């Protein structure tokens, strides 16, 4: 699992059928100090996360395939939780 900050949403006029109905987010992964670490990732979201939210991410392929309900999906990342910053 990694943490990341939602930096925006993605839209697609054409996408893989396994992604139909899923909200797509751009999430900047963060290091232990909260600084940007690497390139932003395209993430599926079922939690309703918004821009600026700090989220827990998973790259567990089996978990993501289970979420979308198929073994043939191009997505690798998914939100698993929202971190409360209070």
CATH number assigned to the domain comprising residue 12: 2.40.50.220
Rounded distance, CA 36 to CA 65, Å?
A: 27
Q: What is the pLDDT along the chain (86 residues), one digit of tens a residue?
A: 899 999 999 998 899 999 999 999 999 999 999 999 999 999 999 999 999 999 999 999 899 999 999 999 999 999 999 998 76
* Residue labelled with tokens 């993430």: 43
Rounded distance, CA 17 to CA 37, Å?
A: 30
* Number of domains within the chain: 1
What is residue 64's three-state secondary structure?
A: helix
Domain hosting residue 30, numbered range? 2-82
Query: CB neighbours (10 Å) of residue 39?
Result: 8
Residue 19 carries which DSSP code?
G
pTM: 0.89
Residue 38 carries which DSSP code?
S
């Amino acid at each position: 699992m990694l943490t990341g900050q939602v930096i925006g949403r993605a839209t697609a006029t054409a996408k893989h059928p396994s992604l139909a109905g899923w909200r797509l987010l751009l999430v900047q992964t963060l290091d232990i100090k909260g600084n940007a670490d690497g390139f932003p990732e395209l993430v599926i979201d079922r939690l309703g996360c918004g821009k600026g939210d700090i989220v827990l991410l998973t790259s567990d392929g089996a978990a993501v395939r289970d979420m979308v309900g198929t073994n043939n999906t191009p997505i690798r990342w998914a939100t698993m939780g929202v971190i409360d910053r209070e």
